Amino acid sequence: MSVLSGKKILLGITAGIAAYKTASLVRLFIKLGADVKVVMTPASKDFITPLTLSTLSKNPVHSTFFDVEDENEIWNSHVDIGLWADYFLIAPATANTMSKMANGTCDNLLLATYLSAKCPIYFAPAMDLDMYIHPSTKESLDKLQDFGNIIIPATSGELASGLVGEGRMAEPEDILSFIENDILSKLPLRGKKVLITAGPTYEAIDPVRFIGNHSSGKMGFAIAKEAANLGAEVILITGPTHQQINHSFVNRIDVISADQMYTEVHNYFNDVDIAISAAAVADYKPKNVANQKIKKKDSSLTIELAPTKDILASLGAIKKHQFLVGFALETNNEIENAKSKIKRKNLDAIVLNSLQDKGAGFAANTNKITIIDKNLNEKPFELKSKTAVAKDIINEIVNSIR
């Protein structure tokens, strides 16, 4: 999966002959799973039609603040367009448009959107050789980069004028590769290995029945996705769950019992930088597992239980460089119990959620947590979606390991 999958890409097109390549750009973004919207300068429509780009992007294409031919047309808000995007690419970026961008000129929808955008902005220059090396163009390029915009360098090759030299817009495949590599290089967990456990464990009573709990795995899977989105190589060890994850940075390993999870966790722990134990591992398992289905009787059934191995404590006992995070689901004396686990299990942090809090705990789509660090500092968070909670957890870890 590309780092651009699920991202909102705004493509700005200006009036250069290289605009014909933007059809391929849109298709490549879509193929990688991105959502694409296009804003054009009015003159760029002489080089490629909005209909082509709208068909490929499956979104309306805008080039003016409103459609003069439609009296009912609503205003195309440059602010809304700019705020929508995760990344803004201007390609081709002509000498004229770059000069306007560098000097704050705002005479069309694309430039107004540029000045309103809050996301990272990439631009791919495209012009003839003499224009590209002109001192005014160099000044524009320097200014735009000083503003924090990211240049995708022009290449050398045959130009529209027939000359051969520098000024040719990078090819669509190279533009995407540049953006992907630039994003990856800036992700805070790039180069880190993260081990995450999720879901319940099932402890067999007989071939048919088991002891389990109500964990859905939603929290652990959300954490795994967020860590992967920030560049981490994630090993996700999960108990039985209906949750799905589709990310090239995530290696999913399915287990059933606490013993299986213990084995898999210890197979990977020595090589990871961060371990997050979000699974609801059974504390006990049947001491003896029947080989055949236990038949129902009128009398009561007694099952002797034995403790399972404490996975988190075992990791705390052998950790070296790893940043180890546990979870605590409590029903009473929450803070005290969570702080006790930090000390007993040699954790760097613990994520506390209480079943006393409405919307927190198993199966729900929301959670309310307090993160407690090894110095026993408490940081409470409001009730949020588990996706947002995962971001909070990973952000706290990133800030702790910097």
pLDDT in tens, 197-224: 999 999 999 999 999 999 999 999 999 9
Q: Which residue has the higher pLDDT, 275 or 74?
A: 275
At residue 322, the pLDDT reads: 97
Residue 49, pLDDT above cutoff 70: yes
Start-end ranges of CATH 3.40.50.10300 in the chain?
Answer: 193-401
Mean pLDDT of the chain: 92
CATH classification number, 8-186, choose in 3.40.50.1950, 3.40.50.720, 3.30.360.10, 3.40.50.1110 = 3.40.50.1950
Residue 69, pLDDT above cutoff 90: no
Give the integer Cα–Cα distance in Å for 167 and 126: 5
In the chain, the largest separation of any two C-alpha atoms, in whole Å, equals 95
User: What is the per-residue pLDDT across 228-262, written as a single tens digit (0 to 9) for each?
Assistant: 999 999 999 999 999 999 888 999 999 999 999 99
Could you list the active site residues? 213
Confidence of residue 183 (pLDDT cuts 50, 70, 90): very high
Task: Kindly state which CATH superfamily the domain 193-401 is placed in.
Answer: CoaB-like (3.40.50.10300)
User: What is the per-residue pLDDT across 313-325, written as a single tens digit (0 to 9) for each?
Assistant: 999 999 999 999 9
Give the integer Cα–Cα distance in Å for 124 and 326: 45
Give the integer Cα–Cα distance in Å for 53 and 25: 10
- For residue 330, the one-letter residue type is E
At residue 296, the pLDDT reads: 86
Start-end ranges of CATH 3.40.50.1950 in the chain?
Answer: 8-186
Q: Helix 109-116 to helix 95-103 angle, to the nearest 10 degrees?
A: 40
At residue 323, the pLDDT reads: 98
At residue 41, the pLDDT reads: 96
At residue 32, the pLDDT reads: 93
At residue 188, the pLDDT reads: 94
